[in-house]
Amino acid sequence: MVERAVQHPRGPDVPRHPLSDPLSPDGPGADARARARTALYVHVPFCAVQCSYCHFSKGPLTSLALERWFTGLEREVRLREPLARGASFSSLFFGGGTPSVLSSRHFGRLMTLLRGSFAIAPDAEITLEANPESVKPSLLDTWRANGVNRLSMGAQSFEPAELRALGRIHDEHRPDAAVRLARTHGFERVSVDLMFAYPGHTSEAFARSLTRALELGVEHLSCYCYITEAGTPLGDAVLAGAQVLPDDDAQAALYAALESTCAAAGFAPYETSNFCRPGAEARHNLTYWLRRDYLALGPSAHGLWRGQRYANHFALADWAGALEQGEAPHADHEIVTPGHAADEIVLLGLRLASGLWQGDHEGALWQAVIERYGDAFLAAQTQGRLEATAQGWRIPAAHRFVADDTIAWLAARSSGS
């Protein structure tokens, strides 16, 4: 049973994002795609809390762990920097973990390291993931002074009982205060994260959280369906039958409510789990979905660089330990074959509302996509699972929540299966 949310009084002075064009249902468009060129990701593996659902690489922030991470990063930067010469990064993303737990001094040290080693474009989108409780005026000033121009705020829910069950330490009012503070410190781009379909989640509670999130006046919303992860307290409780997930129909109904509520608020679904006002797509994530190069640093970070994929050791100790021994920080590494690249292009691109575009990919790679998937695309079109566009192919809006099913259906019928 979830508690009823306490309505938080809002004044008329909440700053609204300047983007207020008519809703475009078919994003991301050509401009957004052109801006998402090359990305840099840094994993900050520290958290003040251990949320009950979270399977990310993270641990408590201690001075010892922090120093080990910094030393490891310096080593990984030295290793990867020669590979990135000549690249100008159009986005930089600090994810975690909780990057906002870093002090001003440590964040400044991190930016000095990155700017001293990589060419970050003057107009780069620089995003920092922040938990609402850690947003403070002095940190906001530090982030702005170091070029951060976008905040991604983890709210997850606005229901007090749900926040407690999820292990979050902020209360239901804190995201509102944090967004207001960010606006007064000059942040025009703020995104909020919500989650849905976790154990006990109801349509009524979700509607209240969605309303509260959209009332924040942000221009971007990420809303992820809960995934049961073994090894997390909540995931283990679900797997043991002690907690029950909403069934498939209830999950689909929650997603339908998400889409309709967002549309009514002027937010277009440009990717399965991401909604925004026109022009406010996350450039960094778009780089992933378009399968363009991204360099990634830190424990558990995954990169795709010049045709090679790598996955760093998951735990801080393993990642730092490898670097301390003079070994590579990654646990896995592969040269991506054209066939595998075609699979990735389809898997990632079909998550976008505007779908796969031929013009996004080199001629040889698009040829590999068509050779492998051409017949499957036509069969899917016949069944209404896919529609042809002027630029390529996309999943019809009505099938977007089950995009993964369509992608699996296509993969099973591709010539590479």
- Sorted by sequence, the CB contacts under 8 Å of residue 38 that are 6+ apart come out as 87, 88, 89, 90, 91, 287, 292, 293, 294, 295
Sheet-wide strand order for 189-196: 268-271, 274-276, 220-225, 189-196, 150-156, 119-130, 88-96, 39-44, 294-297, 302-305, 308-312, 330-335
Residue 100 CB, nearest approach to ligand SF4 (Å): 9
Closest CA to 197 of 8, 406, 399, 401: 401
3-state helix, strand, coil in the chain (%, to 5): 45, 20, 35
Binding to ligand SF4 by residue 175, rule CB under 6 A? Answer: no
Residue 337 CB, nearest approach to ligand SF4 (Å): 33
Binding to ligand SF4 by residue 47, rule CB under 6 A? Answer: yes
Residue 68 CB, nearest approach to ligand SF4 (Å): 18
Closer residue to ligand SF4 in complex, CB, 38/52: 52
If phi > 0 it is left, if psi is from -120 to 50 it is alpha, else beta; for residue 97 that is left
Residue choice 42, 54, 120, 353 for contact with ligand SF4 (CB under 6 A): 54
Closer residue to ligand SF4 in complex, CB, 45/72: 45
Count of positions on this chain that bind ligand SF4 (CB under 6 A): 12
| Alpha carbons 401 and 384: distance in angstroms, whole number | 15
Closer residue to ligand SF4 in complex, CB, 136/399: 136
Closer residue to ligand SF4 in complex, CB, 121/161: 161
| Alpha carbons 94 and 102: distance in angstroms, whole number | 11
Binding to ligand SF4 by residue 51, rule CB under 6 A? Answer: yes
8 A C-beta contact, residue 213 and residue 195: no
Closer residue to ligand SF4 in complex, CB, 153/352: 153
Binding to ligand SF4 by residue 98, rule CB under 6 A? Answer: yes
8 A C-beta contact, residue 203 and residue 257: yes
Give 306's DSSP letter: T
8 A C-beta contact, residue 387 and residue 394: yes
| Alpha carbons 410 and 380: distance in angstroms, whole number | 7
x/- site string to ligand SF4, residues 335 to 354, per CB under 6 A? --------------------
Binding to ligand SF4 by residue 56, rule CB under 6 A? Answer: yes
- Sorted by sequence, the CB contacts under 8 Å of residue 94 that are 6+ apart come out as 42, 44, 110, 127, 128, 129, 148
Closer residue to ligand SF4 in complex, CB, 49/207: 49
x/- site string to ligand SF4, residues 115 to 154, per CB under 6 A? ----------------x----------------------x
Residue 96 CB, nearest approach to ligand SF4 (Å): 5
Closer residue to ligand SF4 in complex, CB, 49/365: 49
Residue 179 CB, nearest approach to ligand SF4 (Å): 17
| Alpha carbons 42 and 290: distance in angstroms, whole number | 19
- Sorted by sequence, the CB contacts under 8 Å of residue 365 that are 6+ apart come out as 338, 341, 342, 345
Residue choice 27, 28, 72, 96 for contact with ligand SF4 (CB under 6 A): 96
Closer residue to ligand SF4 in complex, CB, 233/338: 233
Amino acid at position 148, single letter = V
Binding to ligand SF4 by residue 329, rule CB under 6 A? Answer: no
Binding to ligand SF4 by residue 199, rule CB under 6 A? Answer: no
Residue choice 3, 4, 20, 50 for contact with ligand SF4 (CB under 6 A): 50
Query: Strand 274-276 relative to strand 294-297: parallel, antiparallel, unpaired?
Result: unpaired
Residue choice 8, 15, 17, 49 for contact with ligand SF4 (CB under 6 A): 49
Residue 300 CB, nearest approach to ligand SF4 (Å): 11
Closer residue to ligand SF4 in complex, CB, 235/278: 235
Site for ligand SF4, rule CB under 6 A: 47, 49-51, 54, 56, 58, 96-98, 131, 154
